[in-house]
Every structure is written in C-alpha cells, then in structure tokens.
Amino acid sequence: MKRLVFVFFIITCPTVILVSQQNDIIKFENSYMGLEPPDDTPIIFAPGIISTDVYNHASVTMNPDGTEIYWASDNDSIGHRVIWYSRLKNGKWSKKMIVDFTLNNDGDCPMLSPDGKRIYFLSNRPLESNPTSKKVRIWYADRTSLRWKEPQPLPPVINSSHLQWQVSIDNNLNIYFGSERKGTKGKDDIFFSEYNNGFYSDPISLNHTINSQFHESTPFISPDGTYLIFSRMTFSNTSKSGFYISYKDTKGNWTEAKYMGDQFIDAACPYVSPDGKYIFYKKSGKEFRNVYWISGKIIEDLMQNK
C-alpha cells in the first residue's frame, strides 16, 4: 500500500497550492471517470471514490471541460469537512486529493464558477479582521495557473444573515442561494444578488413562481441564467418534495416552477454538468451519503412544455 504524502511549499505570494497528496493514479479513463453514463434512472456516481461510507454534504462541481471534479465530505483524520478533487491528465484520473485551503479550516459545498476560474464554498473559518467570529459564510478563491489564491469571504451584504447550503453562480458572477433571512415568503427562500463592477446588490427573494410557503433551497442556476433548479421540501400531503425547475421567459421573468419528477424525491444540491448532459445531486438527510447522477434530458423536455 502506498502511503499518502502531504507536500507543502514555501512561497512568497499569498497563494495556496492545489496538490496536497501524492499524485497516484486510479484506473478511470476519459470523461466522468470512465463510468457508464446513466439514462432516466438515477445511479450512484463514482462508488468507492466520491460515493463512499463517508458522509457527503453536497453534490459535485466541475471545471468547463470536465477534467476536474470537486466535492466535499467529512474527514475524521483531520477533524473537519474538507474539499476533495480529482483531475484528468493524460487520459487518467488522479487519486482524490485535498484542496489545501481546507487542510487547516473546514470547507463545504464547493461550486466552481462557469469559467472555472473561481471556487465558492461554505466555511465557518474565522475572519482575518475578527479571529473570534466563527459562523458559516460564503468564501471564494480565485485561480491562477494550478494555484488557488488565499480564500476571501464574500462581503457582509451576502454573509451578514443566515445562509443555507449550496450556492450557485452564473456567467456574470450573479449569485443564488437559500436563506431564512428577512424578506422570505415561506420557511426558506431562494435569494438572488446581482454582481456589478466588483460589488453585490442587496439579496432579494425571487418571486412567487419560485418561492412558496415551503422550504426552497440548494439552487443551481444555468451558466447563461436561463433556468433554475432548486429543492423544495413541502412536508405536505398535497404538494410534492423534490426538485423544481423554472425557466426565464422572453421578457426575462421566471416561469411557474415545475416539479421534475418522482426520481428526485428527497433530492438536494442539483448540479448540471458543463456539457448539459447530466444532473448530479445528493439526497437530504444524514443517512444519505451518496452522490447520484441521471440524464439531463428532462431539462429540455420540461422547457418544451413551459
């Protein structure tokens, strides 16, 4: 058995090196770790690598060409949740490695920007300006070459109120997230904040075609901003829990969200692959550990009937 070797570099600029373990190779080739793609029935994604006995708190996220996959899970040896990644190089996927900025502080629910140049994640790590302040905030790190810069928190306009689980970003770095903050229409809402010239606007609860009296959370916005998938938990006998999808109409308004089907019961943290072919997700609840994937054809099918 090969021992894992953590490699640390001394550098003069405030960057974080991606590589943190020996670059062993696993025998998966080509896209999606060489796995047989799913049809309309969900199957477990990457069993033994991403879907393991260790609890996954989120789904996966990928860079634009699908050559890197990131996810988060508990890590008992370190004592907190970490962000993992695997990279496809020369036709082989590397053994999973820990993103260095989660070695000493927690990292959860990673989400790459559509261009792959920025990674967003949740963490309760302390602020540099207030080391005693520990609460869950959205952080981000920018990328240069093969390095992630030192993570920075999003501004207080986003982080000052309660946040919930997965965040999602479109091509313009506009951000969507779930929250119980002031302005909700129900238990939790999907909020939107526009990014403009380096600043985020005050988050607003999306309209009633998306948010309801129930729990809305874990949004995924398409890179071009034309559709939004999210989780709705109803705890009701008259309304179904699972994934819902809304599309932008020709006037830029969100259409009435549609239930995506019983195959997504208890689903959370939707993510659509960069090529649009597959939907990845996990299930709500501590007892659910795996990441699932399924054909993304339903996105187009429901759009035709919007």
d(CA 71, CA 43): 17
Look at residue 283 and give its three-state secondary structure: strand
Looking at the structure of the chain, the number of domains it has is: 1
C-alpha–C-alpha distance, residues 229 and 210, integer Å: 10
7 domain-assigned: no
2 falls within a domain: no
Show the tokens assigned to 233. Answer: 């938990």
200/202 Cα distance (integer angstroms): 7
Tens digits of per-residue pLDDT, 179-193? 988 888 888 999 999
Rounded CA separation 255/274 (Å): 23
pLDDT of residue 306: 59
Provide, rounded to the nearest whole percent, the portion of the chain with pLDDT above 90: 62
- What does the mean pLDDT of the chain come to? 86
Q: What is the pLDDT of residue 17?
A: 37
Average pLDDT over residues 253-261: 96
DSSP code at position 157: H
Instruction: Identify the bridge partners of residue 58 per DSSP, sorted by sequence position.
Output: none
Q: Is the pLDDT of residue 207 over 80?
A: yes
pLDDT of residue 305: 73
Question: Where does the pLDDT of residue 287 fall: very low under 50, low under 70, confident under 90, or very high at 90 and above?
Answer: low
Mean pLDDT across 219-230: 98
Among the residue ranges 72-81, 221-230, 293-302, the one predicted with the least confidence is: 72-81
Q: What is the pLDDT of residues 162-171, one digit of tens each?
A: 777 799 999 9
Given pLDDT bands bounded at 50, 70 and 90, which one contains residue 114?
very high
One-letter amino acid at 174 equals: N
Inside any domain, residue 4? no
pLDDT in tens, 39-74: 999 999 999 889 988 888 889 999 999 999 999 998
Mean pLDDT, to the nearest integer, of 101-127? 94
Note the pLDDT of residue 100.
Answer: 93
Length reported for the chain: 306
42, 270 Cβ separation under 8 angstroms? no
Q: Is the pLDDT of residue 129 over 60?
A: yes
- 52 lies in some domain: yes
Q: Tell me, yes or no, whether 267 lies in a domain.
A: yes
In the prediction, which pLDDT does 147 show? 85
**What is the band of 30 on the pLDDT scale with cuts at 50, 70, 90?**
low
Instruction: Specify if 5 maps to a domain.
Output: no
Q: How far apart are CA 231 and CA 234, in angstroms?
A: 10
Indicate whether 22 pLDDT > 60: no
Structural domain for 255, as ranges: 15-304
CATH number of the domain within which 211 lies: 2.120.10.30
Look at residue 1 and tell me if it is in a domain. no
Task: Quickly count: other Cβ atoms within 10 Å of residue 239's Cβ.
Answer: 13
* Higher-confidence position of 304 and 5: 304
Question: Does pLDDT of 20 surpass 70?
Answer: no
CA dihedral 177, 181, 185, 187 (to 10 degrees): 90
Please classify residue 21 by burial: count the beta carbons closer than 10 Å to its beta carbon, then call 0-12 exposed, 13-18 middle and 19+ buried. Answer: middle
pLDDT tops 60 at residue 12: no
If we measure between CA atoms, which residue out of 84, 126, 121, 129 comes closest to residue 105? 126
Write down the pLDDT at residue 133.
74
> pLDDT of 70-94, one tens digit each?
999 988 788 889 999 999 988 889 9
| pLDDT for the residue 54 | 83
Question: Kind and range of the H or E element at 302?
Answer: helix 297-304
At 16, the amino acid letter reads V
In this prediction, residues 172-184 reach a mean pLDDT of 92
- Distance in angstroms (rounded) separating the CA atoms of residues 58 and 291: 8
pTM for this one? Answer: 0.88
DSSP letter for each residue of 150-199? PPEEPPHHHHTS--EEEEEE-TT--EEEEE--TT-SSSBEEEEE-EETTE
User: Does any domain span residue 3?
Assistant: no
